[in-house]
């Protein structure tokens, strides 16, 4: 059986045009959209705002047809070099059956998002083998380091620099990160928001995590619900097949009044130890600081020295 080669978009150049989309939640106010466009201009690119990003359909930025319409128009527009999500929020999963994967195959573009937009990234990768980028939704770019990480990831033709536990502003103290199993794992990097990932299970878009280095994150969720999703990874057999695992910050998550008093470290590490998966917690591949990482590229995670090294480029 021949494995399909990775599909890589072109690295961005000054004045490239980028489509800004809202696949799920509606931006809270118009200034969120104008600020997102300004960020793209400050990176040296030209923003093109989707025509439906401020439509209203409950929580969402318009109907499924409106939201996927913006995305498919950009995917089929040869003048657009990439698509960046303005917001996260529930709703992106509904777009998966309607995305134009043939357009991605024909003209691969950069796609960036976080939160539930993880579903779009993983679906695009599983259907076309595109290298997509898990990074901040534009409304979440709140620091110079986050801004620089995003721009570097989208313009660099060589492999990205390794990520270590002390990567972000010195806030990730390596000697305080919990390491359930010391070891080394190698494989394609996949993952993102845990809730979004598990929501794809049982669908035609469920990604295979076999032999992958997997990273997980989530935001503002109860620990017992997160334990349910992680247990789903275990019961499905997907967890047993991974090469290594990096657990992100899981910012603003906690017990939140539930009866489960176990921390994420307690509950997740029970399965990781049982399966002897090289792993570590509080690693800056996702979470509050949102470093941008490429999905699908080969990498090595060494939990002993808390280092993620990319073994190939993510763009051409």
pLDDT of res. 289: 62
Nearest Cα to 20, choosing from 40, 45, 44, 49?
A: 49
Kindly give, in sequence order, each residue whose CB lies less than 8 Å from that of residue 299, ignoring residues fewer than 6 positions away. Answer: 186, 187, 188, 189, 213, 308, 309, 310, 311
According to the model, what pLDDT value does residue 2 have?
A: 44
Please report which confidence band the pLDDT of residue 286 belongs to, taking 50, 70 and 90 as the band edges: low
Query: What is the dotted CATH code of the domain comprising 17-155?
Result: 3.40.50.10740
pLDDT of residue 168: 54
* Cα–Cα nearest to 89, from 50, 126, 140, 42: 140
> Does residue 288 carry a pLDDT above 60?
no
Integer Cα distance of 163 and 282 in angstroms: 12
Cα–Cα distance measured from residue 273 to residue 125, given in angstroms and rounded to the nearest whole number: 29
Q: What is d(CA 122, CA 128) in angstroms, rounded to the nearest whole number?
A: 10
- Distance CA(282)–CA(261), nearest Å, equals 19
Lowest mean pLDDT among 241-245, 277-281, 287-291: 287-291
Per-residue model confidence as pLDDT tens digits over 91-103: 999 999 999 999 9
Mean pLDDT over residues 32-59, rounded? 97
pTM: 0.94
Angle between helices 264-275 and 223-235 (to 10 degrees): 10
Topology (CATH) of 163-310? Glucose Oxidase; domain 1 (3.50.30)
Burial 40-59 (b: 16+ CB within 10 A, else e): beebebebbbbebbbbeeee
What pLDDT score does 6 carry?
A: 96
List, in sequence order, every residue forming a beta bridge with 274; answer none if it has no partner: none
Instruction: Return the DSSP state at 57.
Output: B
The shares of helix, strand and coil residues in the chain, as percent rounded to the nearest 5, are: 35, 20, 45
Residue spans per domain, the chain = 17-155, 163-310
Q: Which residue has the higher pLDDT, 258 or 298?
A: 298
Q: Which two tokens stand for residue 80?
A: 């657009």
Least confident of 36-45, 180-189, 284-293: 284-293
Over 50: is that where the pLDDT of 133 sits?
Answer: yes
Burial class (CB in 10 A: 0-12, 13-18, 19+), 176: exposed
At 177-236, the pLDDT tens digits run 899 999 999 999 999 999 999 999 999 999 999 999 999 999 889 999 999 999 999 999
Q: Which residues contact 49 (CB under 8 A, 6 or more apart)?
A: 20, 33, 37
């Amino acid at each position: 059986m021949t494995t399909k080669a990775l599909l890589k978009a072109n690295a961005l150049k000054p004045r490239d045009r980028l489509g800004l989309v809202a696949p799920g939640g509606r931006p809270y106010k118009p200034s969120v959209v104008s600020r997102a466009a300004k960020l793209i201009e400050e990176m040296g690119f030209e923003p093109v705002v989707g025509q439906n990003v401020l439509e209203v359909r409950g929580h969402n930025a318009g109907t499924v047809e409106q939201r996927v319409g913006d995305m498919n128009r950009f995917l089929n527009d040869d003048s657009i070099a990439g698509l960046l999500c303005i917001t996260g929020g529930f709703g992106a999963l509904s777009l998966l059956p309607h995305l134009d994967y043939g357009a991605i195959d024909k003209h691969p573009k950069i796609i960036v998002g976080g939160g539930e937009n993880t579903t779009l990234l993983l679906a695009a990768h599983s259907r076309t083998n595109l290298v997509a980028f898990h990074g901040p939704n534009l409304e979440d770019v709140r620091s110079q380091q986050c801004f620089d990480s995003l721009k570097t990831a989208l313009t660099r033709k060589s492999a990205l620099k390794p990520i270590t536990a002390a990567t972000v502003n010195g806030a990730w103290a390596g000697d305080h990160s919990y390491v359930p199993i010391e070891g080394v794992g190698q494989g394609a990097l996949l993952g993102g928001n845990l809730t979004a990932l598990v929501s794809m299970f049982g669908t035609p878009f469920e990604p295979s995590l076999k032999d992958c280095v997997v990273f997980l994150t989530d935001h503002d969720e109860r620990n017992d619900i997160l334990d349910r999703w992680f247990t789903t990874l275990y019961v499905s057999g997907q967890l047993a097949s991974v090469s290594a695992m990096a657990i992100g910050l899981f910012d603003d998550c906690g017990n939140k009044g539930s009866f489960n008093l176990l921390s994420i470290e307690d509950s997740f590490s029970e399965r990781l130890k049982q399966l002897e998966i090289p792993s570590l917690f509080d690693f800056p591949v996702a979470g509050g600081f949102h470093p941008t990482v490429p999905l699908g590229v080969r990498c090595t995670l060494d939990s002993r020295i808390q280092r993620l090294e990319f073994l190939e480029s993510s763009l051409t």
